Structure 1
Amino acid sequence: MSTTEVPTREELVRRASELVPLLRRHANWADENRRLHEESVEALADAGIFRMRIPRRYGGFECDTRTLMDVATELGRADGSTSWVASVTWIPTWMACMFPDEVQDEVFATPDVRLCGTLSPSAMAAPVDGGVIVNGKWGFISGAQHSHWQEIIAILAGPDSEPYPIMALVPMSDLLIVDDWNTSGLRGTGSVSTVAKDLFVPTERILALPSVLQGEAASSTNAGSPIYRAPLLPVASASSVGTVLGLGRHAQEVFFERLPDRKITYTAYESQREAPLTHLQAADAVTKLDQAEFHAHRLAAQVDGKGVDASPWKLEERARARADLGSVVRLTREAVDIFASASGGSSVYRAVPMQRIAHDVHAVNLHALMNPNTNAELYGRVLCGLEPNTLYI
């Protein structure tokens, strides 16, 4: 075990910003090959991106969610897939910190260890002496090809108890990777499927999922750290919004870079920026991105603030965290749609990043935990005095 000097938020954002040219250079390669370029992964590791949620005693930074958001925004300005993989890595890394300290000793023994994971209980576990046997398949495992461990969810069904969901940590070498990721958006994330066949998982690497969802850690050492004492879903929500903001700001950047030299074909406008329609579109899109940033900042401030003062989470606050995430996703999609529709026919060429940004944003909107309609319905349900109809809150 070791400690290391922890860089400031400004330093980590600067490092992420310096990666933008390299990540943009590999963005089309990642899109075509359906996984991140190894040079991009190595650059993220060298910049300390994978250490942002690792405890300081293992050489990590224990960054708050505002830092995650700002760093992911810079990465998202470069490439949505790269930022998505980094953000998704932070979530199971945080989840690993819920496990007993001896399990963390094993996981974090690997420098710049990378974890992937899921919240879907698409496998079954059967109890055996010393642990469980798991069989099943998990989809949408972003960054699996670059990871060392996967956090899995399974339904434990034993003869003497009601079935319930468990969370476990398994080495990637114990899983089969199925390369089935061929999609219209976030193609570079390599979000393949993984399979467990008669996989034995020892008891110490298993936790009850409802406990983790409530932020109840089995780690005694991490109990005093503000970032490890929050419910899982607000943490996951706040960890994800930066990628979306970055995609929106990249669309804004691409649009205004091309604007002065673009004519509006079959009109008298020699420059698109002279058209009143463009003025309305630009103002509308940028305002939506500003609104998205408000919801992202409020979400991060709430997660970080409650971590510091250790105040309990009210049900409405937890639902609003999901709603803030949904608002960021919806508003950014609306802004990107405006920029994309105003970018003309030439923007469909792969050399113009706008088409990839639009595809990526639409893919994010389809994610089960980020979908704006699902999150808004959940918030409205709680506001109306009803109990949530999901564990994932």
Structure 2
Amino acid sequence: MTTSSQTDTDWPKAQEIVDHVLELRPWLRVQQAAAERQRRIPQESIDRLDAAGVFGLTTPKRFGGADFTTRELHDIFRALGSGCGATAWMVWAAAGGNLWSFAFDEDAVAPVYEAPWVGNRTFAVGGTSRRMAGTARQVDGGWMIEGAWPFATGSVHASHGYLAVFYDETDDTKTGMALVPKGALVARDDWDAMGMAATGSQTMATDGELFVPEGHFSTPKRLTERLAELTARGEGPRRGGLARSLVTGAGVALGMADHAMEVFLGAVEKRSIPYSPYVKQVDAPIAHLTVGRAHTQVRAAAAVADAAVAQLDRLDAEETDPSDRDTLQLHTDVAYIWDACSSAVETLFRASGASAIAKRQPLQLIARNCRAGSLHAAHGIDTWTENIGRALCGVEAHASTGVLERTS
């Protein structure tokens, strides 16, 4: 078995992690209902996932993390999504937060990864608006931060958090990230959602002002400079930034759609259609249309994902960052994938009859989780199709962004 303290030489191959995840899939599926009730991933699942190596997917290599391609990460998240969508989402969100670990000085980051820990080391709250972030004021030796950060996915299991802050009362470009031990924060047990309930996305807050040393504070500008330095030395993350994170995370949506199709087809020969001549649903032409429609939606979404994955891996091999237009299109592709998958899952759910609404039936939970994921701001189909439409029409867009996307 492998552990989260692995070094660069003994990290398992991506396919080995996929195989481990597929072995865990029956367990993850059984645990889905318990995870939703607990509003967090059960600790035994965390232990098993940690042993499989999934919490080091994007950890900096100098702290023993992996160095997987976009394709490899996407395939791992799709495998996880086919087991439990909420678990996959939490692992993916925590993996995205690790990018901030490249922005901070070694002395600040080393304790995060070198201390014994099982599970995800960090969580991150990106701050697309002041409502989703805290405030900061500079003092001798560091910063005083204050605020509450909602939807802190993975914070239940993490040891540290990256918290977005605004350090100017009027200028929304003045943003930064503070690295804070979770023990210094107050956890509000306020996450009770209709979907993705098991992700532990609680609000984390300060109790008054909290001092953060200078070395534990960074800005998008510093992140960009730090990444350039590390990349020049061959020690940085693969290229693509947040767009790459979103594309890999689209595998979560596809995995949930895979699971939904498996559940539906597993029952289609057993289920009848009341008030119809069909003793078995499999004999009804409408069932064939339903399966064909859902299958085609998922297949189209997968094709879009494959193209986005291939583009990012090609650009990485060419040592080229995605252009602004590339990034916009990739965002839109991800929104399409989530929308198509959630639509396909709901099509299968609606065709499953009233018995499917029982909490013991997995399809209702898959449908709720997938729809919840599609409603995330980064996945909003209407927002991103409008944004790409504006670009195509030559109309300048002034879209709000998270801290990771601000470079100055």
Quickly say closer, same or farther: Cα 1:242–1:279, change in 2 above 3 A: same
Q: Kindly indicate whether the alpha-carbon contact (under 8 Å) linking 1:217 and 1:223 is maintained by their aligned counterparts in 2.
A: no
Aligned ranges 1:240-319 → 2 under 5 Å = 240-319=249-328
Q: List gaps (5 residues or longer) in structure 2.
A: none
Amino acid aligned to 1:23? L
Residue 234 of structure 1 is matched in structure 2 by 243
Q: Kindly indicate whether the alpha-carbon contact (under 8 Å) linking 2:69 and 2:238 is maintained by their aligned counterparts in 1.
A: no
Residue 178 of structure 1 is matched in structure 2 by 188
Residue 338 of structure 2 is matched in structure 1 by 329
Greater than 6 Å deviation, 4+ residue runs: none
Residue 219 of structure 2 is matched in structure 1 by 208
The question of 1:12 aligning with 2:21 is answered no
Deviation at 1:62, TM superposition (A): 1.9
- Secondary structure, counterpart of 1:230 in structure 2: coil
Residue 167 of structure 1 is matched in structure 2 by 177
The question of 1:189 aligning with 2:199 is answered yes
Residue 348 of structure 1 is matched in structure 2 by 357
Aligned ranges 1:366-381 → 2 under 5 Å = 366-381=375-390
Q: Kindly indicate whether the alpha-carbon contact (under 8 Å) linking 2:8 and 2:66 is maintained by their aligned counterparts in 1.
A: no
Deviation at 1:227, TM superposition (A): 6.5
1:51-70 per-residue CA deviation (whole Å, 9 max, x = no partner) reads 11113332211222222211
- Alignment partner of 1:339 out of 348, 352, 356: 348
Q: Kindly indicate whether the alpha-carbon contact (under 8 Å) linking 1:322 and 1:379 is maintained by their aligned counterparts in 2.
A: no
CA distance in 2, matches of 1:350, 1:264: 21
Quickly say closer, same or farther: Cα 1:204–1:387, change in 2 above 3 A: farther
How does the TM-score come out when normalised to structure 1? 0.93
Greater alpha carbon shift after TM alignment, 195-204 vs 349-358:
195-204
Could you say what the CA RMSD is over the residues aligned between the two structures, in angstroms? 2.2
Deviation at 1:261, TM superposition (A): 0.6
- Alignment partner of 1:129 out of 140, 145, 167: 140
Greater alpha carbon shift after TM alignment, 370-379 vs 226-235:
226-235
- Secondary structure, counterpart of 1:133 in structure 2: strand
Q: Kindly indicate whether the alpha-carbon contact (under 8 Å) linking 1:93 and 1:115 is maintained by their aligned counterparts in 2.
A: yes
CA distance in 2, matches of 1:16, 1:169: 30
Percent of counterpart pairs with the same letter? Answer: 29
Quickly say closer, same or farther: Cα 1:115–1:162, change in 2 above 3 A: closer
- Alignment partner of 1:142 out of 153, 165, 175: 153
Deviation at 1:385, TM superposition (A): 2.3
Deviation at 1:105, TM superposition (A): 2.0
Quickly say closer, same or farther: Cα 1:60–1:163, change in 2 above 3 A: closer
Greater alpha carbon shift after TM alignment, 372-381 vs 146-155:
372-381
Residue 210 of structure 2 is matched in structure 1 by 199
Residue 50 of structure 2 is matched in structure 1 by 45
Amino acid aligned to 2:90? V
Aligned ranges 1:27-42 → 2 under 5 Å = 27-42=32-47
CA distance in 1, matches of 2:274, 2:81: 31
Deviation at 1:276, TM superposition (A): 0.8
Deviation at 1:39, TM superposition (A): 0.5
CA distance in 2, matches of 1:174, 1:189: 21
Q: Kindly indicate whether the alpha-carbon contact (under 8 Å) linking 1:329 and 1:365 is maintained by their aligned counterparts in 2.
A: yes
| Alignment size in residue pairs | 390
CA distance in 2, matches of 1:330, 1:352: 23
Q: List gaps (5 residues or longer) in structure 1.
A: none
Residue 152 of structure 1 is matched in structure 2 by 163
